[in-house]
């Protein structure tokens, strides 16, 4: 949390440096911008890695259903793995 | 079905969520109770309780021949049934999503025809709400809270702009239903490209970072 707050503060400070640039402090500014840019980049990288671990694979089970074996009722003709779960009407 | 599963796997890749699907275990059920006029997942409870396979790491998808154009399916999210006091064993058996076969890829449905309804419903299974959700802040006796209100957490995701759903299947890139503006001038457009909206399949292309 502290890291995030610090990072947010530092990143928020970057536009202020841009304001200084308008005043013509070019040499020092370039160096400062470079250093802050590197730190900012590093912090952004750290923040972006503050993610949850990759979740486990989800087992997917697909059920295809139909109210009857009539094509017009959405029955998909199959020749294998048919499991009738209740009385079939037609 | 293989194509539908491929679409799910592909569109969930950016989220790093992966699915293990064994086509040889595809299950077919013929039962008159799967008649297509049902438009609420609760109506399927007895069927789901009979057919559910696995545990909470198992996603059961039930495809059925729905005859309603505006109902693409329904899905259980991780907490609703627990809040309703359903006993844990029954809750597990009712877990899963029902999806209309009318919404699979290349179907004749006018706007749910790229298989993205399943992606949307699975989003609910993982806990996502609609961006136009009311955030569950409705006090008893109160209805239709304004989802555009600043105090309304809508879907609890910061980077999905507040929005109304708009007409089902629309894809209006300029819609700004909450009439919001950044810095006073730039419109905050509705997240019409989000899988959790009710926009057309052609329109939808992503989950936001906040959702992921």
Q: What's the half-sphere exposure (Cβ side, CA atoms, 13 Å) at B80?
A: 16
d(CA B87, CA B175): 43
ipTM: 0.90
Backbone φ and ψ of A82, nearest 5°: -80, 130
Residue A1: per-residue pLDDT: 41
Q: Is B131 exposed, middle or buried (0-12, 13-18, 19+ CB in 10 A)?
A: buried
Inter-chain contact B17–A73, Cβ cutoff 8 Å? no
Instruction: Name B63's bridge partners.
Output: A64, B99
DSSP H helical segments within chain B, as ranges? 2-12, 45-51, 80-83, 88-93, 116-125
Q: How many beta carbons lie within 10 A of that of residue B86, not counting itself?
A: 15
Instruction: Look up residue B166 and give its DSSP letter.
Output: -
Output the CA angle B69-B49-B20, nearest 5 degrees: 75
B124 by DSSP, 3-state: which? helix
Is pTM, for the whole model, over 0.90? Answer: no
Output the CA angle B28-B31-B33, nearest 5 degrees: 130
Residue B147: per-residue pLDDT: 82
Residues of B in contact with A57 (CB under 8 A): 18-20
Residues of B in contact with A64 (CB under 8 A): 1, 26-29, 63, 101
Residue B154: per-residue pLDDT: 87
Residue A89 forms contact with B (CB below 8 Å)? yes
Residue B141: per-residue pLDDT: 61
Inter-chain contact A60–B50, Cβ cutoff 8 Å? no
Could you say which residues from 42 to 71 on chain A have a Cβ atom under 8 Å away from some Cβ of chain B?
54-69
Q: Give how far A76 is from chain B: nearest CA, Å.
A: 9
Residue A42: per-residue pLDDT: 63
Inter-chain contact B32–A86, Cβ cutoff 8 Å? yes
Residue B126: per-residue pLDDT: 95
pLDDT per residue rounded down to tens, chain A (90 residues): 444 444 444 444 433 333 333 343 444 444 555 555 566 666 666 555 556 788 899 999 999 999 888 877 777 654 333 333 333 332
User: Mean pLDDT for each consecutive 10-residue tract of chain B (212 residues)?
Assistant: 94 96 89 85 92 95 86 89 86 94 91 95 94 70 71 88 91 92 88 96 96 94
Judge whether B154 and B133 are in contact, CB under 8 Å: yes
């Amino acid at each position: 949390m502290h890291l995030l707050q610090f990072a947010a503060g530092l990143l928020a400070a970057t536009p202020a440096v841009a304001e200084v640039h308008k005043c013509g402090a070019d040499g020092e500014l370039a160096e400062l911008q470079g250093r802050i840019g590197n730190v900012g980049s590093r912090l952004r990288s750290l923040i972006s890695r503050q993610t949850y671990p990759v979740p486990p694979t989800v087992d997917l089970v697909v059920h295809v259903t139909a109210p009857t074996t009539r094509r017009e009722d959405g029955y998909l003709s199959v020749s294998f793995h048919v499991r009738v779960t209740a009385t079939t009407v037609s | 079905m293989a194509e539908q599963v491929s679409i799910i796997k592909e569109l969930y890749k950016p989220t790093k969520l992966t699915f293990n699907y064994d086509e040889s275990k595809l299950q077919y059920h013929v039962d008159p109770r799967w008649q297509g006029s049902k438009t609420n997942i609760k109506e399927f409870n007895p069927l789901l309780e009979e057919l559910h396979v696995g545990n909470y790491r198992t996603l059961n998808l039930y495809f059925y021949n729905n005859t309603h154009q505006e109902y693409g399916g329904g899905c259980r999210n991780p907490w609703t049934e627990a809040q309703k006091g359903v006993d844990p064993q029954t809750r597990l058996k009712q877990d899963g999503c029902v999806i209309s076969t009318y919404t699979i890829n290349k179907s004749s449905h006018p706007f749910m025809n790229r298989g993205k309804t399943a992606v949307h419903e699975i989003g609910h299974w993982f806990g996502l709400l609609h961006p136009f959700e009311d955030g569950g802040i409705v006090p008893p006796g109160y209805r239709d809270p304004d989802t555009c209100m600043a105090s309304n957490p809508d879907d609890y995701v910061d980077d999905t702009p507040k929005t109304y759903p708009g007409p089902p299947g629309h894809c209006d890139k300029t819609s700004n239903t909450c009439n919001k503006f950044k810095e006073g001038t730039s419109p905050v457009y509705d997240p019409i490209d989000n899988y959790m909206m009710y926009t057309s399949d052609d329109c939808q292309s992503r989950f936001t970072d906040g959702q992921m």
